[in-house]
Amino acid sequence: MTSREIRRQFLDFFASKEHKIIPSAPIVAKSDPTLMFINSGMAPLKDYFLGNQQPPSRRIADTQKCLRVTGKHNDLEDVGRDGYHHTMFEMLGNWSFGDYFKKEAIRWSWELLTEVYKLPKDQLYVSVFAGDEKEGLPFDQEAFDEWKKYIAEDRILAFGKKENFWEMGEQGPCGPCSEIHVDLRSEAERQAKDGKQLVNADDPNVIEVWNNVFMQFNRRADGRLDELPAKSVDTGMGFERLCRAVQGASSNYDTDLWKPLIGFLESFSEIKYTGTYPEVDANWSMTDIAMRVVADHLRAVSFTIADGELPSNTGAGYVIRRILRRAVRYYYSFLNLREPVMYRMCPILAEEFSDVFPELKSQVDFVVKVILEEEKSFLRTLESGLKRIDALDLVNNTVDGKQAFELYDTFGFPSTLPA
């Protein structure tokens, strides 16, 4: 199945369960003062959970553009170093607003994964909320009992608040959740070690693919939990991870979603992409990381600009500028590229997503122009900044605070670049 087919199957499945399919909201959270960017499928739907607005239907599904680079959900540091975190990603979601609850959410997620996508049942594990004494929250017996209908008891694992109580931010709707994890190791590895021990243990091949949140509370600014007016369901499935699992790829970057971008970087830099990762390959290569970072950041920057946020020196625009500059540093330092690159990749991306996010294709000339100007200007800054650093002779000298801040400002996110 191609990624387009996988996305389509998700939407068709939930349409057949009487869900209204809605388009993705813009990636910038303009109307929510608690968020800078949309960080999950439910974020644009927050007011429906809180009862502040009526949803267009009590059942909704979509694929939402998300960006996790600030606040409670921030995956920036992992991008490129592993094969399953991204700054910008798609979250497939289905929602019930005071309509169905745990029973249907669990049944449908199992049906979709095992009957439509045909993921092998013996490679799946599920988790339920173990409860939390401090918050006065019990073990999620109801979810456990529902899962027992589909999967052996020893594959239903209980985890605490960190893993199984989902919150959108410091404030906002939240609730216990039940995750589905897939073991994508080889047959031999699966025989040698029980996958159960690797769930939630940062194994690159045993990964969470879907989260079913049972929205019951609103976290107030003072930290207290209020009951929501209705019990609702919020699910989030990482589309890139799902594609990896369905396509049997060894990482998200080896799916048809990323290959065109990585392929472009390979031919433009004349460096071969070998698909190595620090956490699994002793001989991992920095050029592989750089290609993944550039491809990832291109998506974050392009979609955000197409959604109306221009790079700037304040707020969300500043974050976008920093992400773009971070990508430039990677291709400059590790792919030896001295001219703008990302603007050339933007049309490839626009074409790839023309059916689902046409807003990029319809504005591609504009987005290309903005990215090109940013790349040109930062490459100039980089060249002159590096000359200044050479002149400072940091091996033999120290810099004062003012100079240190100037350097920080020039290079952006310095601590996140590997030595």
Q: Based on C-alpha coordinates, what's the Rg of the chain?
A: 22
* Angle of CA points 59, 60, 64, to nearest 5°: 160
**Residue 171 or 250 with smaller CB distance to ligand GLY:** 171
The verdict on 90 binding ligand GLY (CB under 6 A) reads no
Nearer Cβ to ligand GLY (146/234): 234
- To ligand GLY, the closest distance from the beta carbon of 210 in angstroms equals 8
If binding is defined by CB under 6 A, does position 176 make contact with ligand GLY?
no
Q: Which residues on neighbouring strands pair with residue 20, listed in sequence order? A: 60
Number of residues that bind ligand GLY (CB under 6 A): 7
**Closer CB to ligand GLY, residue 32 or residue 266?**
32
CB of 209 to ligand GLY, least distance (A): 11
| Exposed/middle/buried for residue 72 (C-beta within 10 Å: 0-12, 13-18, 19+) | middle
Among 338, 268, 343, 254, smallest CA distance to 302 is for 343
Q: Is 42 a residue that touches ligand GLY (CB under 6 A)?
A: yes
Among 63, 211, 232, 285, binds ligand GLY (CB under 6 A): 211
Using alpha carbons only, what angle is made at residue 243 by residues 22 and 2, rounded to the nearest 5 degrees?
85
Q: How far is CA 317 from CA 294, 303, 304, in A?
A: 18, 13, 9
User: Could you say whether residue 232 binds ligand GLY (CB under 6 A)?
Assistant: no
- Nearer of residues 213 and 293 to ligand GLY, judged by Cβ: 213
Q: Is 213 in the site for ligand GLY (CB under 6 A)?
A: yes
Question: Is residue 10 near ligand GLY by the rule CB under 6 A?
Answer: no
Q: Considering the complex, state which of residue 6 and residue 213 has its C-beta at the smaller distance from ligand GLY.
A: 213
* Smaller CB separation from ligand GLY, 58 or 325: 58
CB nearest ligand GLY: which residue? Answer: 236
Nearer residue to ligand GLY within complex by CB, 176 or 236: 236
Q: Are strands 156-159 and 124-129 parallel, antiparallel or unpaired?
A: parallel
Q: How far is the CB of 154 from ligand GLY (least distance, A)?
A: 25
One residue of 40, 127, 218, 232 binding ligand GLY per CB under 6 A: 40
If one asks whether residue 234 binds ligand GLY (CB under 6 A), the answer comes out as yes
206 binds ligand GLY (CB under 6 A): no
Please state, as a whole number, how many other Cβ atoms lie within 10 Å of the Cβ of residue 71: 14
Nearer to ligand GLY among residue 127 and residue 285 (C-beta): 127
List 26, 236, 275, 311, residue binding ligand GLY (CB under 6 A): 236
| Residue with smaller CB distance to ligand GLY, 93 or 195 | 93
In the complex, the smallest distance separating the C-beta of residue 241 from ligand GLY, rounded to whole angstroms, is 12
C-alpha span between 184 and 250 (Å, rounded): 8
Asked if 172 interacts with ligand GLY (CB under 6 A), we say no
96 touching ligand GLY, by CB under 6 A: no
> What is the closest distance, in whole angstroms, from the C-beta atom of residue 374 to ligand GLY in the complex?
30
Q: Give me the least distance between CB of 109 and ligand GLY, in Å please.
A: 12
Q: How far is the CB of 15 from ligand GLY (least distance, A)?
A: 21
Residue ranges in 266-295 that form contacts with ligand GLY under rule CB under 6 A = none
Of 234 and 296, the one with the shorter C-beta distance to ligand GLY is 234
Nearer to ligand GLY, 106 or 337 (CB): 106
Q: Which of 13, 84, 166, 273 binds ligand GLY (CB under 6 A)?
A: 166
Interface ranges with ligand GLY (CB under 6 A): 40, 42, 166, 211, 213, 234, 236
